[in-house]
Amino acid sequence: MQIHSSTPASKIMIAKDLRFATLRRLAGAAVLSLGVLGGCSNESILLVVDPDILNPTDIATAGGAGPLRFGAIQRFVLAFDGGTDSFVAFGGSIADEFRGSDTFDERILPNKRTISEDLSAGPYSGLHSTRREINNAISVITAVAPNPKFNIGELYMFRAYTEDFFAELYCSGIPFSDVTDDGVVLGKPETTVQVLNRSVASFDSALALAETSTRVRFGASVGKARALLNLGQFAQAAAAVSAVPTNFVLNIDHCFGTGCTDNGLYGAASAPSSRMTPANREGINGLEFMPTVPDPRLPWVASNRAGFNTTWLNMPIALKICPAYRNNCPGTFNTTGAVVLADGIEARLIEAEARLQGGTQADRDAVLVVLNTLRATGITGKPITALTSAGATQAAAVTQLFNERAYWMYMTGHRHGDLRRLIRQYGRDAETVFPTGEQAPPLSGPYGTDVNAPVPARERNNPNFNGCLDRKA
């Protein structure tokens, strides 16, 4: 049974996820209990409040709604980029952003494009756990919070992104099961199109409840356009982001220390003994993500660090994911440890792709103007040399646009979905866009042919599920 929690919505028990949002309040209750019971001769002194657990009566109140919301958002952060098996890291490994420097098949074989049902469970569990926690939070906040609209809109936005991530990372045929007060409702396999339409509907709910929050309104607008782009609905995608300013940024923030949500990309590809390493021109077709001519979108330095598999030596450091206060990460590009979920630059790139569908030289020239404007102004004080050609053919213009998307949105979870779109929407052969040929040392052997991850084997406990409907892009 593919349900990532054994607890129904009516019996919510949040443990570690919410500990730090509620520790002071619950710890105070525990101290009070000790003071009252300290003079008793029986064993009732042991009956104290556990500060690690929020009980249903704590949650189902206006005061409990906030911690519940924070816990759901933390789930999203963990699933998005909070670990080596997060959405961003896993998808980037299948694509050409990361290589596996691990000793475990969970990182080596996805990077090799050879992914079995036993090797794709990490992101799947994280995304389903996120979706369940968000649904719980929406239900409780709706019932008890005095002014729930803004918070609920935000939660719908994160749920919508989660649903889009499923469609970008996994094969066709994902079930969405749920836990209700009446028990478990087992999902039936949904096609990629159905999952993307599910995501668009959730983004619409977020927009309807955004009220005055530009963070939710613009973040949901970019996310909706991303899902529409995945559906091949280019004009609708461009319309969705028309009001998003270019300077808008929706960051997923991280911190370092006890109780914080670490930046998993740092741990995956920049920390000592990391299980992944930044890739450069991987597998013949991979892009140059470590250019010899400096590009402020792709800052990196050489280093002498080794991988978790110690045959990996002198691995480079991608400074984009290096917080300044990590001593072993020289220099900095992003001082907060944040990773961009959506921004105005993505909005302009979506509009450019929609314009490119016109297929004329005038359309290609207009797209070149957009790309060069972003190069001139996208990073304050760091203009990038202008592109000199719009592309004499439509295929060349498409390649240039997708390369620019890869550089602007490096290590933000977009690249794998874009490679799948090049196959699905632009007719490219998989071996012309995904890493192919022989793996470079210290790895050996040929790349496989997978372009996505299969739904994990554990889902076969769901009697409605009998495997992927297909493994196509």
DSSP string, 115-154: --TTS-HHHHHHHHHHHHHHHHHHHHHHHH-SS-HHHHHH
Task: Select from 8, 14, 9 the least CA-distant residue to 66.
Answer: 14
Q: Is the pLDDT of residue 25 over 60?
A: no
Contacts of 403 (CB under 8 A, 6+ apart): 287
Task: Select from 336, 326, 284 the least CA-distant residue to 303.
Answer: 326
Predicted model pTM? 0.87
Backbone angles phi, psi at 406, to 5 degrees: -60, -40
What mean pLDDT, rounded, does the chain reach?
Answer: 85
In the structure, what pLDDT confidence band is assigned to residue 62 with cuts at 50, 70 and 90?
Answer: confident
pLDDT at site 315: 94
Other Cβ atoms within 10 Å of 201 Cβ, number: 15
Q: Is the pLDDT of residue 41 over 80?
A: no
Distance separating alpha carbons of residues 229 and 243, to the nearest angstrom: 17
Fold of 9-253+340-460: 1.25.40
Higher pLDDT, 20 or 346: 346
pLDDT in tens, 107-124: 999 999 999 999 999 999
Cis bond before residue 294 (omega within 30° of 0): no
Asked whether 379 and 297 are in contact (CB, 8 A), the reply is yes
pLDDT at site 67: 85
CA angle, corner 204, sides to 182 and 60, nearest 5? 40
Q: Is the pLDDT of residue 331 over 80?
A: no
pLDDT at site 51: 58
Helix axes 214-230, 415-424, angle to 10 degrees: 40
pLDDT at site 143: 86
Higher pLDDT, 422 or 324: 422
In the structure, what pLDDT confidence band is assigned to residue 326 with cuts at 50, 70 and 90?
Answer: very low
Distance separating alpha carbons of residues 87 and 267, to the nearest angstrom: 14
pLDDT at site 53: 63
Task: Select from 455, 374, 394, 412 the least CA-distant residue to 174.
Answer: 455
H/E element, 334 = none
Distance separating alpha carbons of residues 322 and 220, to the nearest angstrom: 27
Task: Select from 397, 435, 405, 403 the least CA-distant residue to 285.
Answer: 435
Mean pLDDT of 204-229: 96
Task: Select from 105, 462, 77, 62 the least CA-distant residue to 254.
Answer: 77
- What is the amino acid identity at position 180? T
Contacts of 119 (CB under 8 A, 6+ apart): 105, 106, 109, 110, 453
- In the chain, where the domains are located: 9-253+340-460
pLDDT at site 37: 31
In Å, what is the CA distance from 144 to each residue of 58, 63, 178?
12, 9, 21
What would you measure as the largest C-alpha separation in the chain, in angstroms?
Answer: 89
Three-state DSSP class for residue 341: strand
Q: What is the CA 310 to chain-centroid distance, rounded?
A: 28
pLDDT at site 208: 95
In the structure, what pLDDT confidence band is assigned to residue 223 with cuts at 50, 70 and 90?
Answer: very high
Distance separating alpha carbons of residues 377 and 348, to the nearest angstrom: 12
What region does 178 belong to: left with phi over 0, alpha with psi -120 to 50, or beta? beta
Task: Select from 192, 220, 190 the least CA-distant residue to 205.
Answer: 220
pLDDT at site 267: 80
Q: 411: which 2 tokens? A: 């290590």
Q: What is the CA radius of gyration of the chain?
A: 23
Q: Across-strand partners of 251?
A: 340
Kindly state the percentage of the chain with pLDDT values over 70: 83
H/E element, 366 = helix 361-377
Q: 428: which 2 tokens? A: 């490219």
Cis bond before residue 454 (omega within 30° of 0): no
Q: 157-171, 259-273, 409-423, 432-446 — which is least confidently predicted?
A: 259-273
In Å, what is the CA distance from 411 to each residue of 263, 279, 469?
12, 11, 29
In the structure, what pLDDT confidence band is assigned to residue 457 with cuts at 50, 70 and 90?
Answer: very high
pLDDT in tens, 302-321: 999 999 999 999 999 888 87
